[in-house]
Structure 1
Amino acid sequence: MSETTNSKSIGMSLKEAAERLAAVSETSRLDAELLMQKILGLERHELICRQNECLSPDKEAAFEELVLRRIKHEPIAYIRGLKEFWGILFEVGPGVLIPRPATELLVELALAAAAKMTGELHIADLGTGSGAISVAIASELKNRNRNFKIEALDWSDEALRFAQKNVDRYGLRDFINLGKSNWFEALENSKSCFDIIVSNPPYIAEDDESVMPDLAYEPRQALFSGPEGLDAIRELLFKVPEYLKEGGAFFCEFGATQKELIENFIKNNEFLSSNFVCSFYKDLSNFDRALKLEFKQLV
């Protein structure tokens, strides 16, 4: 028999891989398709049209290698080296947090706030990671012909390496300035300068037993933050008033069960409760997911 006769079709390989991946992924069929797309260099519609074609032995072996990596819970985004966010493909890999769909809410809120502001916008993205939030906001503002500058900061050299790739990938160097910083550290000379500050900080509790196995591959410092998962958020809330302009706003992502803890923290902080209003927003799954902190309007 020829090698071609012995080879599996693309469709059969996808079916078998999806069955094996079902034990580790709720999106096993999609995972299998994404892995096959990587091996064959095809778009999804092309893959669908070629289901009956046979895989060459080398492609079959390469696909099997990727399937085995996924069975070990390695995230699809790391295996592919790509993750879509806000309709944009971002380069990602070990050492940088994988952008999640829920975080698109921060982009929506920031853009809605920007639409109500006039003049040049000064924006800070704290803990930028892959640069997903900054690139998404910058792409939209650029298309709207707004004048703006984004300071995108992260403490991780590896994260900044990926962020730079993504900024360059979409030609946004003139709009996004990347820098190494532990939160506000690099902004000491920029107090009361920002119209919008946005952050997706770590917010998982250190002893959270519900954490998915896939997260073991992502940088721990981008995920976990103290016994309640709120150490970073509290630090940001404590410091952010120094850096906002009058009329500015701070947007921050948090965990689905943390709203009440955050409300209590703000309520018990006399300066925050006296001078700021905090609003909360739900994600598409109807979980509390983001907050907006803004100055109270003077009557």
Structure 2
Amino acid sequence: MKPPPTGLPEHEARRLLQLATGLDAAGLGLLDALTPEQSTRFEGYVDRRLAGEPLQYIEGTVPFGPVEVKVDPRVLIPRPETEVLWERAVCALGTADDSTVIVDLGTGSGALALSLKHAFPAARVYATDIDPDALALARENVEQAGVSVLRGDLFDA
């Protein structure tokens, strides 16, 4: 394997190479050469990253607590600080039944709502945002989990 492209940290180049090949870290160690398709994909990912696109947008998903969510430029990338909020909410609630209502205001990707629904499957969880594009992505992330997605303005609440 050749060294990572100039200007790209090695760990990012490896992640993009994994994305381009579909291989995990161990599989990359056994890789002798890229196919033409893999090489084209990898070069495209590198170009996007060098142009400043966040790695998470290129990868298309990000882990958040117990779940993985889709991300793209329609939403902000979920921050580690928000995972701390999720952990504190889980500890504060302790348990939840079908009378428990959880509302995620300004849901963005739906990461917080989805992870709370995962932690409390019986709870009624609502994800709200004012941005229809963000809501479309949130809907993709939470539709299978039973989270209700609603358009709303935090300041109208």
Query: How many Å separate the matches in 2 of 1:105 and 1:90?
Result: 17
Q: Report the 3-state secondary structure (helix = DSSP H, G, I; strand = E; otherwise coil) of the residue aligned with 1:16.
A: coil
1:81 to 1:117, Cα distance in 2 relative to 1, 3 A: closer
Is 1:93 the counterpart of 2:72 in the alignment? yes
CA shift, 1:141, in A, is 1.4
Determine the C-alpha separation between the residues in 2 that align with 1:101 and 1:36: 24
**1:85–1:70 Cα change, 3 Å:** same
1:211-264 per-residue CA deviation (whole Å, 9 max, x = no partner) reads xxxxxxxxxxxxxxxxxxxxxxxxxxxxxxxxxxxxxxxxxxxxxxxxxxxxxx
1: distance between equivalents of 2:14 and 2:60?
Answer: 15
Is this contact kept in 1: 2:78–2:111, CA < 8 A? yes
Q: 1:172 aligns with which of 125, 145, 151?
A: 145
Q: Which residue of 2 aligns with 1:115?
A: 94
What's the % identity of the aligned pairs? 32
* C-alpha RMSD of matched pairs (Å): 2.0
Q: Larger C-alpha radius of gyration, 1 or 2?
A: 1
Partners of 2:123 and 2:155 lie apart in 1 by 19
Name the SS for the 1:20 alignment partner: coil
Q: Secondary structure, in 3 states, of the residue corresponding to 1:151?
A: strand
Q: Deviations over 1:123-171 (max 9, x none)?
A: 11000000000111111112xxxx3111110011111111111113xx3
The 3-state SS of whatever aligns with 1:37 is helix
Q: Which has the higher contact order (CA 8 A, sep 6+)?
A: 2
What amino acid sits opposite 2:145 in the alignment? L
TM-score, normalised by the number of residues in structure 2: 0.89
Tell whether the 8 Å contact from 1:114 to 1:121 is kept in structure 2 after alignment: no
Q: How does 1:116-265 map to 2 (within 5 A)?
A: 120-142=99-121, 147-168=122-143, 171-173=144-146, 176-183=147-154, 185=156
1:121 Cα deviation after fit: 1.1
The residue type paired with residue 7 of structure 2 is R
Please list the CA deviations of residues 38-95 of structure 1 after superposition, one character each: whole Å capped at 9, or x if unmatched: 2112233333x324x1112332232112111101110011112111111422111111
Partner Cα separation in structure 1 for residue 98 and residue 67 of structure 2:
27
- Give the number of the structure whose residues are more often strand, by fraction: 1
- Hey, what does 1:50 align to over in structure 2? 30
Aligned partner of 2:44 in structure 1 is: 65
Report the CA distance between 1:119 and its aligned residue: 6.9
Runs of 4+ in 1 over 3 A off after TM superposition: 116-119
* Residues 1:109 and 1:91: Cα distance change in structure 2 (over 3 Å): same
Unaligned runs of 5+ in 1: 1-8, 22-27, 188-299
User: Aligned with 1:93: secondary structure?
Assistant: coil
> Is the 2:74–2:137 Cα contact (8 Å) retained in structure 1?
no
Task: Report the residue type matching 1:177 in the other structure.
Answer: S
Unaligned runs of 5+ in 2: none
Letter in 2 for 1:50: L
Residue 16 (structure 1) aligned with residue 8 (structure 2):
no
> Within 2, Cα distance between the matches of 1:177 and 1:118?
16
- More helix by proportion, 1 or 2? 2
How far 1:118 moved relative to its partner? 7.2
The answer (yes or no) to whether the contact 1:96–1:159 under 8 Å persists in 2 is yes
